[in-house]
Structure 1
Amino acid sequence: MGAQVLVADDDPRQAEVVRRYLIAEGHEAVVVHDGRTALDQARRLRPDLVVLDVMMPGLDGLQVCRTLRQESDVLVLMLTARTTEEDLLLGLDLGADDYLTKPFSPRELMARVRTLLRRASRGTPAAPSALRRIGRIGVDPVGHRVSVDGAFIECTRGEFAILAAMAEQPDRVFTRAQLLHHTRGIDRSSTERTIDVHVVNLRRKVEVDPQRPAQLITVYGVGYKLAAGT
């Protein structure tokens, strides 16, 4: 069964190309050309995925992404002509699930779409024993939830993927490349700096003192580990 995809891009020609490729793969696609309409349609349609251009009139894509993430966990794939690392990481920091820099090929875009939808729909075998408790942190791969001292916290998909991977093997040191594979798959345009951003955000959510982490530990020169704690 195809997904419902909202395409928000102020370039009508590019948006139409994306729409046609989505339909050819069996998805439903709705196209809008500005940020405010994108938010309105996202709230009305509740799509499975939003393909979101950064540079749009009214509200830009970053503002739209920030609002969407506050309201839902819809998949967000950002399109951006900004190629600096900080610009790209900002989108991820706001909760985007993936990004693609312009110019891009429609085939690469569709590959990203398939990867995101597949990852979102991939079920974990339902079993109460799947719940992992590592120190103060609980990771529920079935319910896709994270708790700290019993209180649930909100995590992006990338953040959850990092914790879920680490929770499977507490105290194992993961390289950034290994965590990048867990969060985004093999992605030519991503950098391992992406993982650092996710870890910083996670520490704000799960650590008593993010500046002195007790569980989400940096192993200098290697990567990160989730310490079992006490």
Structure 2
Amino acid sequence: MARKILIVDDDQKTRMLLKTYLEKNQYEVILSHNGESFLSELHLQAGQLSLVILDVMLPDTDGFALCRIVRQQSNVPIIMLTASSDETDRVVGLELGADDYIAKPYSPRELLARIKAILRRVAVEPAAAPRYYRFNGFTLDALERKVVDSDGQPLALTGLDFQLLKYFVDHPGDILDRSVLCEETRGRDAGPLDRSLDVQISRLRLRLNDDGKQPMLIKTVRGAGYVFSADVSVSHV
């Protein structure tokens, strides 16, 4: 079954170009031209979408507002498209729960590569791998892709948040540099001015109630990267 992607962009030429290109690469594509039509399709396709692509600039709303609504309803991966060269747009999108962003102009080939990278990362873990990772009162379920606290309450994590935390619990005690973390979570290295990983780390610390000034779980190793310092136990049940 083809993976289903919902795209909202107010430019008809761009919409049709992406639809044609992605369908040639075996994806099912649903198009929306504004926020209203997007939300209607989001409701109709609930639970069936593999990925959402949001243009930041729309005639009746903006991609940030739509990103917030999607995250209230689903953990479906989100890619945001921005025409602005301002880093603020990218940071805001990531803070709201987007999994990746692409600055315009971009090529359909680049977008396809980003889509494939995200869908690989959210693929179900193989059966032979541990299902549960327990640390500091939290339990990460690798099969259902969720994390609950000591009271059994689920954490509000995006797909990118989950992928980063999963990589940390797979490598407890290891010093992980920025390039490794970016490659594992975004499929590419980060430039020297790219703050997206820092934003994501801060957001994950917040979700884990890990004090940003004196974090105990995700610690910064100056000049080297980050280390997940919690004891992690794994099991299949």
Q: Please confirm whether the aligned pair reaches a TM-score higher than 0.5, indicating the same fold.
A: yes
Amino acid across the alignment from 1:143:
E
- Pair 1:60–1:143, CA change in 2 (3 A): same
The answer to whether the aligner puts 1:109 opposite 2:137 as a matched pair is no
Change (3 A) 1:26 1:125: closer
Q: Distance in 2 between matches of 1:37 and 1:142?
A: 32
CA distance in 2, matches of 1:87, 1:168: 31
Post-superposition offset of 1:117: 2.5
Which segment is superposed worse, 7-16 or 45-54?
45-54
CA distance in 1, matches of 2:193, 2:159: 17
Q: Does 1:48 align with 2:50?
A: yes
The answer for the alignment partner of 2:73 in structure 1 is 71
Note the alpha carbon deviations across 1:82-137, whole angstroms, 9 max, x for none.
122221121111111111111111111222222222332x2212368432222333
Asked if the contact 2:53/2:81 (under 8 Å) is kept, the reply is yes
Q: 2:2: which partner in 1?
A: 2
Of 179, 187, 190, the match for 1:177? 179
Q: Give the SS at the match of 2:164.
A: helix
SS in 2 for 1:153: coil
Report the equivalent of 1:143: 144
**2:167 aligns to what?**
165
Matching residue within 76, 98, 101 for 1:99: 101
Q: Contact (CA 8 Å) 1:6, 1:31: kept in 2 or not?
A: yes
The runs of 5 or more residues in structure 1 that have no matched partner are none
Q: Structure 2 unaligned runs (5+)?
A: 233-237
Equivalenced residues, count: 229
Whether the 8 Å contact between 1:62 and 1:94 is mirrored in structure 2 is yes
Identity of aligned residues (%): 35
Give the TM-score normalised by the residue count of structure 2.
Answer: 0.88
Read off the aligned partner of 2:28 and give its amino acid letter.
E
Asked which structure has the greater RCO (Cα within 8 Å, sep 6+), the reply is 2
Partner secondary structure for residue 14 of structure 2: helix
**What do you get for the CA RMSD once the two structures are aligned?**
2.2
Find the aligned partners of 2:193 and 2:138 in 1 and give their Cα distance. 27
- CA–CA separation in structure 1 for the residues paired with 2:91 and 2:66: 16
